[in-house]
Each structure stands twice: as structure tokens, then as C-alpha cells.
A and B are shown apart, each in its own frame.
Chain A
């Protein structure tokens, strides 16, 4: 009772949420809301508009708005390959991340004991070094005279002239590496919350460790699996650094096409349409996936 008396002078507080009503909230929120509105929401409308401009215009003389939906068709026709490739590479990399990330998150949550926080810190630490410098390091590791290529050649997995660089393997390896923390952290958050007694109960009821995992641990960690895979897949699909530094033009991903259409070719309408297609494909896949996983409440 003492606490409610102390709070009373602050007046107008919602008894359920403890949140204050009034103007202060709006004033505190306003600067961030304006920034996100002007530089995130409105630009999205500019992108939609750009994707419908008449392609006959140019950067210099401006574009006419003619609701030219054919841009989308042209973008798909010309660039469906890098588009599909991006989704496939990102999908495979996400799968690898899930396997590696699950093992790591599980080990940290359940097996690390007092080293839990330190291990968690070590997961993030390497990713504070520049993304590009790290990717260049992979270029060296997977290089033609590197240890890995030589070993694979020695055991005849790769031919004597076989290489890893400039192949999909290198690009997917780079994507897997670079987006791993986006998988580990949400997985850890949800595995760490699992009540150990539930797993013990499963084994008391004669579930072997594999059944216990399948029926108890995995379902309970699903929220982490869903958010981890989304946080990995989405940036990986838009990334082109790995494809460019570790791959060849045959591994070109859609991000690189969009970038060069904007800055080199100055073809804004097609670039805009291609960005929109990528965005819509990702949204469609995410909705389908989230519905399949039965975790709508996450969004």
C-alpha cells in the first residue's frame, strides 16, 4: 500500500501497466519517430515510386511517373538467375548456420556452467572486426595454395587443379561464417530459458536422449529457431560482399546487381523494381515459413 501512496502524486498512471499517460511520452518518442518516418518509411514509398517510373528517363533529365509495371517483368526476365541464386545460397547458408549455431548455443546454455557469459562474449567478439577484413581472411584460407585446398587435393576430393575460390562452396562458406552470430544469439536466448526438469522428466519416462531432444528440447527452442533463421536468411539473401570477394561473376548475387544498376548503370527504375521483387519474395517466404512453423505470435 505504501508504494501506491508514493506513486499517487505522479497521477494519471495506468494501474495495469504502470505507464504514464500524457504528453511527455509523445515528446520523448517524437524525434526517433520522425527520423524513422522520414528516413525509413518514406524512402520505402520512394522506392515503390522509382520502380514504376518510365524507363526512358535518366538520372540527369529526371523520370516520368507512368506506372510502368513492365519494369518488374523486365527485371525478372534479365535477373532471375542472380535472384534465385541469392535465395538458394542464403537458404543453404542458413541451414549450415542452424546446425553450427544450435550446437554452440546448446553447449553454452546447458554445458558451459560458470563460463556461460564468457563463451557468449567470445561468440560475438570476432564479429567486431571489420566484415570485409574477415571475408578477405577467408579468401586466404580458401586460397588455391592454402591448407584446405591442398588437403582436399591430397585426399582427391578436389582434382589437382580444383579450387574452392570462385565456386559456390566458397560463397556459401563465407555467408555461413559471417551470419552465424545472428543465429546463435536468438537460439541461445530460447534454449537458455528451457526448464531442465522437463528434459529430466522425459528421461525419467524412459525417453532416450534423442527422443528427449526431439520431443522436448527442440519444440521448446522453436521460437529461437524461427527468429534465428529469419535473422540469418534475410541479410544473407541481400548480401553481395561474400559473392564478390570469394566468388566469381558466375556466383553473382542479386544485391550486387541492384547496387550496380543504381550506381554504375544509373538505371533507377529497373534497380527499384528488382529491390521490390527481392523484398516481396523475402516477405512471402517469411510469412509462409512462419505459418508452417506455427509461431505467428512472434511477428
Chain B
């Protein structure tokens, strides 16, 4: 009993953590479900069918492909633009710094529905109302990923000790050599983290995308559509795969940094 009292907060914390995983267990379970009816969403029996036939509904796979494509391009765009901007903000001085900080902060704080609605108002006002699709989704995704990239890379850069760079220059490294051999490798984990965050933000976005997609269907929009008329279990296969990839990447990164810390110690 005293043990429980002493560790009460840790136990409660772990319970909350378990709670966050409940739907994940359901998603994994349902990916092996053999449903009796498409309309009633419950576990009826075990099957590997969904895993062996992920593209039974070709619309789903094309939606997944589209989301991956948009996710990769949006990540590339946002990471490049955001990293440059983060370097500018940390390493360079210029006028308008504080208003720039506000412009970076606002997209993270504004409700998505307002952001999506504004963008739609712009596109329609500029006469692109009929051309909503891949291009407008990509523009929107780069826009809302950008702030997250800038903030992530900026905090990595700001927390970095510049002694190493000064040492490199003391040893007659040119500015280019210093940048590519010292600065960039040190900032790289931040850039990688920002890229992963961008991809998952882009792949998962529904509200902004739904307003600016026209007739194009991304994966979240596909799920939205089938939620009204019967969900194919393969949706849970995609959900499970996403979860496994995310866990491998984040836990792998964590173990890697632990190993490195141990090697240094």
C-alpha cells in the first residue's frame, strides 16, 4: 500500500499513457478484422485478408499515394524554406524581426478552419476557384508546415554552442568548410526532426485540405468519405503501418542518441 502511495503519480501517469494507446490497439485489432457487414463497425473475426489485399479499394491506395506525394513535396519545400529562415533569424540581424516572429507564430495558433477558409477566399478571389487540387493543397501544406520547421530548427540552432565553429575557423577552415563540416552536421538532427514533423502534419491534415482540394481526394478525405458509407478495414492497415513507422523512427532515434551518449561517457 505504501508502495502504491509513493508511486501514485507515476501509476496515474502510466494509466494516462495507456489511455492514449487504447485507440491504437483498436486500430491494430481492426486491421485483422473480418467484418460481416460494411455498415456495422465491430470486430467479427480474425483474417489476414486486409493485410494481403491492401488495395482492394483502388481509390484508397490512390488516395494514400497522393497523400505520400504531397507529404514528400510539402516536406521538401517547407524544410528548405524553413531552415534558411531559421538560420537568418538566429544568425543574422535585420529590421522587422519581431513582426516576422509574429507571422511565424500565428499559423501555429490560428484555428485550421479559419486558415483554410482564408486561403480558399484568396484562391477564389484570384480566379483559381476552378483549379483547386494538387497545387493548392501543396501550397497550403507548405504554408502550415513552414512555421513548425522554423521553430524546430531555430531552437536547435539557438541551443548550439558556437565554440566548435570558432575552433574550426581558428584551424583555418574556410567559411564553406566550417558550414558543411561543423555547422550543418550539428543542426541536422533538428532539420530531420522538422522534416518528420512536416510529413506527418501534411499526411494527416484534413480541415485545411478539405477546403482547398476541389475534386482531389487525399487519404484523410478518403477516410472522411467512407466514414459515412462503410469503412473498409484496409484503412486500419494504413493506420497500423503509419504507427509502426513512427514508432520505429522515434524509438530508433531515441536509442541511437542514448548509445551515442553512452559512447561519449
Contact = CB atoms under 8 A, between A and B. Distances in A.
B111 A234 contact: yes
A149 B243 CA distance: 27
Contacts of A104: 13, 16-17
Chain A CB count within 10 A is highest, among B16, B19, B26, B41, for: B16
Contacts of B258: 117
B30 to A, nearest CB: 7
A25 B243 CA distance: 39
Interface stretch (A13-21, A66-74, A193-201): A13-21
B55 interface: no
A204 to B, nearest CB: 19
A143 B42 contact: yes
Contact of A28 (B12, B87, B115, B210): B87
B94 interface: yes
Nearest to B18: A122
A206 interface: no
A278 B122 contact: no
Interface string A3-43: 10011001000100111111011101101110111011111
Given A275-B113, A279-B111, A119 B166 contact: no
A155 B222 CA distance: 39
B45 interface: no
A39 B119 contact: yes
Contact of A272 (B111, B117, B147): B117
A259 interface: yes
Contacts of B114: 47, 238, 275, 278-279
Contacts of A259: 113, 207, 210-211
Contacts of B243: 125-126, 128-129
The size class of the interface chain B forms with chain A is 35 or more
Nearest to B250: A121
Q: Interface of chain B, helix or strand or loop or mixed? A: helix
B117 A47 contact: yes
Main secondary structure of the interface of A (DSSP, over half): helix
Nearest to B20: A126
B16 A29 contact: no
A170 interface: no
A128 B206 contact: no
A162 interface: no
Interface string A111-140: 110000111011111111111111011111
Contacts of B121: 43, 46-47, 49-50, 268, 272
B58 interface: no
B111 A282 contact: yes
A140 B166 contact: no
Interface of B: 7, 9-10, 12-14, 16-17, 19-24, 26-27, 30, 41-43, 81-82, 84-85, 87-94, 100, 103-104, 106-107, 109-115, 117-122, 124-125, 129, 139-140, 142-143, 146-147, 150, 162-163, 166, 169-170, 175, 200, 203-204, 206-207, 210-211, 219-220, 223-224, 227, 231, 235-236, 238-240, 242-243, 245-247, 250-251, 254, 258
22 contacts: A14-B93, A20-B92, A24-B88, A29-B85, A29-B100, A31-B81, A35-B143, A39-B119, A39-B139, A40-B143, A103-B12, A111-B7, A112-B10, A122-B20, A128-B245, A130-B223, A130-B242, A137-B26, A139-B41, A255-B207, A262-B117, A271-B117
